């Protein structure tokens, strides 16, 4: 296989094991790309994911996500868990299937399971996949059917990965697990990535160079305070900057702000969609230019706020152009349904829709309010 090359992207991959990361220092050291652990199995979510994502994004690093695959657990359930975990986050890189344990399954069965996961995550997100594994595992535990997907290979202490019977090239090469990177305490996995690791241009967030100005967070700042200064909303700033928790920003963080932002509100030009309307999304991109995954379009959402020609969608905290929405109901008695995601509770869903868990339980014939499951459709109105 190919050797390392100075023309490749310099990259790292991280998880909660690296603790709190100073991504400003990471970027200054020359790192250009970071893969971060999102999930594992069907319930585990990396506790540093949201922090790593918002901080890396603020520094302009290219971002990717990986899922640690557990073969003994249901493949489709794992894919749904991965999709739910990265919901609302934008990846510059192909989604990575971390395949490095066999759990005593044969080559054929393990490959079947991996392919099921890959097809399901592709169906759910519309994003392409890369397979991460290590040389010995590729030689002994999986078969050639995975060869149609690009390879991110781990092989330490060598300038080029060893051969395997499935792939003859790579888009990612993890060459060390004991790297030292400024801004990270302890060891870190070191990688080189080729352009092939990137998603197609249609899936990469657009960054119009002259549409944004920036603001550097100072001590005592809040996102809502910054929003007020610029005549916008904290929700719009959160959506634009990939901030999952608007209450957590840090000194030195660089925020993008749309030039000429305002929060004048008002009615839509169509006169039909307003705050509280139930809508479906039919467009291809968020108002920030980021691509909307296909699975986002399967649900009914609530308009939380109107700003000019844009609407803030409550359940996903994202701005969408009103022209890319279709009205499902505007407060009428038409039924509205919600599809349960991993981590949801009936009381949490009730809060989103301004009702009580008791009313939802009664409306849906749920005898035990503590037992709902991912994929279940619940009528909320």
Q: Are residues 367 and 240 in the same domain?
A: no
Q: Are residues 325 and 344 in the same domain?
A: no
Q: Is residue 269 part of a domain?
A: no
pTM (2 d.p.): 0.56
The total domain count for the chain is 4
Q: Are residues 154 and 134 in the same domain?
A: yes
Q: Are residues 127 and 35 in the same domain?
A: yes
**pLDDT tens digits, the chain, 381 residues: what are they?**
899 999 999 999 999 999 999 999 999 999 999 999 999 999 999 999 999 999 999 999 999 999 999 999 999 999 999 998 988 788 899 999 999 999 999 999 999 999 999 999 988 888 899 999 999 999 999 999 999 999 999 999 999 999 999 999 999 999 999 999 999 999 999 999 998 999 863 233 333 334 456 777 777 778 877 776 766 777 777 766 777 777 888 777 777 776 544 333 333 333 367 778 888 887 778 877 778 887 787 688 888 887 767 888 888 878 888 877 777 754 444 567 777 766 678 887 877 777 888 888 888 888 888 878 766 778 877
Q: Is residue 264 part of a domain?
A: no
Q: Are residues 100 and 30 in the same domain?
A: yes
| Distance separating alpha carbons of residues 98 and 251, to the nearest angstrom | 34
Predicted pLDDT at 183:
96
Burial of 225 (0-12, 13-18, 19+ CB in 10 A): exposed
Catalytic-residue membership of 13: yes
3 state SS for 89-143 = CCCCECEEEECCCCCCCCHHHHHHHHHHHHHHHHHHHCCCEEEEEEHHHHHHCCC
Q: Are residues 113 and 78 in the same domain?
A: yes
CATH number at residue 343: 3.10.350.10
| Distance separating alpha carbons of residues 181 and 31, to the nearest angstrom | 9
| Distance separating alpha carbons of residues 375 and 381, to the nearest angstrom | 18
Q: Are residues 354 and 325 in the same domain?
A: no
Residue 267 corresponds to which tokens in the numbers above?
A: 């009615």
Residue 218's domain spans which residues?
Answer: 212-258
Instruction: Indicate if the alpha-carbon torsion angle 369, 375, 379, 380 is positive or negative.
Output: positive
Q: Is residue 273 part of a domain?
A: no
Q: Is residue 263 part of a domain?
A: no
Q: Is residue 1 part of a domain?
A: no
| Distance separating alpha carbons of residues 274 and 192, to the nearest angstrom | 48
Predicted pLDDT at 265:
33
Q: How far is CA 45 from CA 26, 35, 64, 187, 329, in A?
A: 23, 15, 15, 21, 34
Q: Are residues 104 and 237 in the same domain?
A: no
Q: Is residue 270 part of a domain?
A: no
Contact yes or no for 320/311 (Cβ under 8 A): yes
Q: Is residue 245 part of a domain?
A: yes
Predicted pLDDT at 88:
79
Catalytic residue among 22, 92, 98, 100: 100
- Among 310, 329, 348, residue at a domain's last position: 329
Q: Is residue 143 part of a domain?
A: yes
Predicted pLDDT at 203:
35
Q: Are residues 237 and 357 in the same domain?
A: no
Q: Are residues 101 and 192 in the same domain?
A: yes
Q: Are residues 286 and 224 in the same domain?
A: no
Dihedral angle at the C-alpha atoms of 125, 285, 192, 152, nearest 10 degrees? 20
Residue 105 corresponds to which tokens in the numbers above?
A: 């399954």
Q: Are residues 57 and 190 in the same domain?
A: yes
CATH number at residue 139: 3.20.20.80
């Amino acid at each position: 296989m190919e050797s390392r090359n100075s023309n490749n992207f310099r990259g790292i991959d991280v998880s909660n094991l690296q603790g709190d990361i100073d991504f400003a220092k990471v970027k200054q050291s020359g790192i250009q790309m970071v893969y971060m652990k999102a999930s594992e199995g069907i319930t585990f979510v990396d506790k540093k994911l949201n922090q790593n994502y918002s901080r890396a994004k603020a520094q302009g690093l290219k971002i990717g996500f990986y899922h640690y695959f557990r073969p003994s657990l249901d493949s489709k359930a794992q894919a749904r868990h991965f999709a739910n975990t990265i919901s609302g986050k934008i990846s510059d890189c192909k989604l990575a299937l971390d395949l490095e344990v066999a759990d005593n399954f044969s080559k054929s069965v393990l490959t079947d399971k991996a392919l099921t996961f890959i097809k399901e995550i592709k169906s759910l997100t519309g994003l392409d996949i890369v397979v991460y594994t290590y040389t010995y595992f590729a030689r002994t535990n999986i078969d050639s059917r995975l060869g149609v997907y690009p390879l991110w290979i781990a092989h330490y202490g060598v300038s080029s990965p060893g051969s395997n019977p499935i792939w003859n090239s790579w888009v990612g090469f993890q060459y060390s697990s004991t790297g030292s990177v400024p801004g990270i305490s302890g060891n870190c996995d070191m990688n080189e990535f080729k352009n092939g690791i990137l998603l197609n241009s249609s899936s990469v967030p657009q960054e119009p160079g002259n549409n944004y100005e920036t603001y550097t967070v100072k001590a005592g700042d809040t996102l809502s305070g910054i929003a007020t200064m610029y005549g916008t909303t904290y929700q719009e700033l959160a959506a634009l900057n990939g901030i999952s928790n608007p209450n957590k920003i840090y000194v030195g963080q660089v925020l993008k702000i749309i030039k000429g932002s305002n929060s004048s509100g008002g009615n839509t030009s169509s006169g039909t969609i307003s705050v509280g309307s139930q809508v479906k999304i039919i467009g291809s991109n968020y108002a920030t230019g980021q691509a909307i995954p296909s699975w986002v379009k399967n649900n009914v959402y609530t308009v939380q706020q109107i700003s000019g020609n844009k609407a803030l969608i409550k359940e996903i905290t994202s701005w969408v152009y009103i022209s890319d929405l279709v009205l499902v109901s505007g407060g009428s008695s038409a039924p509205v349904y919600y599809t349960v995601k991993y981590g949801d509770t009936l009381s949490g869903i009730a809060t989103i829709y301004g009702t009580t868990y008791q009313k939802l339980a009664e409306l849906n014939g749920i005898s035990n309010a503590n037992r709902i499951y991912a994929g279940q459709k619940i009528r909320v109105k």
